[in-house]
Amino acid sequence: MKNFSKIFFYIILFLFILAVSFAYPAVDTDFWARLLQGYSVLETGSVMYLDPFSYIPTHAWIDHEWGSGVIFALVQNCFGYTGQIVLKALLMFFTMFFVLQTIKLRGIKNTKLHNFLFFLFVIYSLENSIFSGIRCQNFTFLFFAVFLYLLELVRIKQNYKILIAFPFMMLFWGNVHGGCVSGLGLILLYAIGEFLNKKPFKYYLYTFAASTAVLVVNPYGLDYLNFLLSATTMSRTYIVEWRSIFDNDFLILLKSKIFAAVFLAVAAGSLVGTVRRKEKIDYTKYIVLFMMFSLAFAHIKHFPLLIFASTALLYDDFFFFFNGMMKKIRSLLKITSETFIRNFVTVKECIVYVLVILEIIFLFNVYKKTADIHLFRKYPVKMVEFIKENDLKGNLLNHFDIGSFLSYKLFPVDRIYMDGRYEEVYYDKAVIYNWSFYNDSDSLDGKEKWNTLFEVYGLPDYIIVGEDSLVYAKMKSILNYQEIFKDNKYHLYVRKDLQKLQYVTPEKDDKYYKETYFDRSFKFSKPKNEK
């Protein structure tokens, strides 16, 4: 019965994560660029070292996610986007699996391991990470959870031979996502913590050195290490996920904020309780937690790592305080019967599972009914068809978040201003000019910043403007451009000297756009001087 309940827990957990993934199948804005890099590797045998998609000047392309792009391209070729959704669900499930294994390894005194209601709280606290399309970060989440589990296994079992596996895992992690630096940081934090715990720590330093050294095994060599150093220290004011969680309205990422508040209180209470009982402080545990809280509060992007680390290291502490609170409530209600309490817990678990199964069914139905909404809500698919049918060739000034989609659909006939690859490809000033043009209200009083962008990069042939951008209301004052097409929420403007007398409006139904969503009109080829 015990094994059955455990297996049942994992089955329902996976189905729930899968259902959530299918219910929110929107394609991430950077996914298209990842596919393009992946297809380049598959079709030419090489990564792209220079950006071919932008019309503005770019620097050498150090793609820290090139390996993810290859995986995504392979999955897309074999299974379509349904395969990407399943892949994301598998990555998230195994991330949670290793978090659970870490909890089990550390020991449980105050509850049981497979408390589904608690893990619902954890999953919903992930918010943007779970309710979105697949991203390269999903690989970092999994490796972070695996590293945390193995590091705990090493220090609990005192089996330092396990550390030999870390450089080999880092070899893969370092080529699928730059988040591998979180793995290096984790190893270093364990070295510091174990030093303070007066335990052997030199093996962690050896592992850190070896894991760092293997990062040079990539298509870019030592340049990759320089890129990681600069990328992890640079400011990204214009990228939402690199802002502080406190920069948003209170209701934005509310569940993540609740999780952080609860577990910050648990961590503080656990440390204070340890000191009061005059027990030995586990410095490794609290150093890791302190660093995770610091990173998560500084950048939204790091919040999932805080959630995984807090869940793994504070699970039993949470239930120590929770059970104490429930004991006081039962005392106030004068509930003393142990049989009643056990029956209540059993009934509660049954209700939770029934509700979760119903939600799984509901979420799969949501996918069937609303999956197509994501197609037209996020990207200007009809505008792309309009550009193709009217043979509009040239340079497109575009919003940051739709750039890689435009490249995927329109390259090599049209070139974009920029996309979400930011530090991988573009100079800082290009990002600033783009942001100022579309979003900076101070720049709309006059044309100074508009003119700066145009003077530096030239007048684009076409400008795409979303209705929700501040510049939309001012477009009529840019006298050189005329609107020629409107999509779901985007407007297309052409430079007046390029304007045609007549344009063809695509007569395609929604079925056409669904079927051709991931189609591209070109394949990469090797340069002529290569055999």
pLDDT in tens, 289-312: 999 999 999 888 899 999 999 999
- Which CA distances in Å does 253 have to 130, 301, 373, 505, 507? 12, 12, 23, 40, 40
Q: What is the mean pLDDT of residues 235-256?
A: 75
Fold designation for 379-515? Rossmann fold (3.40.50)
Check pLDDT > 50 for residue 445.
no
pLDDT > 90 in the chain, percent: 67
Check pLDDT > 90 for residue 272.
yes
What are the backbone angles phi and psi of residue 414, rounded to the nearest 5°? -120, 150
Q: What is the mean pLDDT of residues 134-138?
A: 95
* Per-domain residue ranges of the chain: 2-362, 379-515
pLDDT in tens, 309-343: 999 999 999 999 998 888 888 888 777 777 777 77
Distance CA 19, CA 13 (A): 10
For 269, the token pair is 């209470």
Q: What is the mean pLDDT of residues 141-169?
A: 97
Q: What is the mean pLDDT of residues 488-502?
A: 93
Distance CA 215, CA 6 (A): 38
pLDDT in tens, 346-374: 888 899 999 999 999 988 887 666 666 66
Residue 11: how many other CB atoms lie within 10 Å? 10
Distance CA 355, CA 28 (A): 29
pLDDT in tens, 400-414: 999 999 999 999 999
Distance CA 258, CA 36 (A): 38
For residue 476, what pLDDT is reported? 76
pLDDT in tens, 71-107: 999 999 999 999 999 999 999 999 999 999 999 999 9
Dihedral of CA 509/407/469/24: which sign? positive
Which range is least confidently modeled, 166-180, 233-247, 314-328, 357-371?
Answer: 233-247
Closest-CA residue to 392 (of 253, 251, 492, 248): 492
Q: What is the mean pLDDT of residues 454-461?
A: 90
pLDDT band per the 50, 70, 90 thresholds, residue 531: very low
DSSP 8-state secondary structure symbol assigned to residue 445: S
Check pLDDT > 50 for residue 446.
no
Beta strands in 247-393 (DSSP E): none
For residue 529, what pLDDT is reported? 54
How confident is the prediction for the chain on average, in pLDDT? 90
Helical segments of 202-302, H only: 202-213, 222-233, 254-276, 283-298
pLDDT in tens, 17-50: 999 998 888 889 999 999 999 999 999 999 999 9
DSSP 8-state secondary structure symbol assigned to residue 177: -
Closest-CA residue to 424 (of 131, 84, 68, 143): 68
What is the length of the chain?
531
Residues 6+ apart with CB under 8 A from 513: 375, 376, 381, 382, 385
Q: Give the global pTM.
A: 0.93
Distance CA 430, CA 418 (A): 8
pLDDT band per the 50, 70, 90 thresholds, residue 450: low
Distance CA 268, CA 236 (A): 31
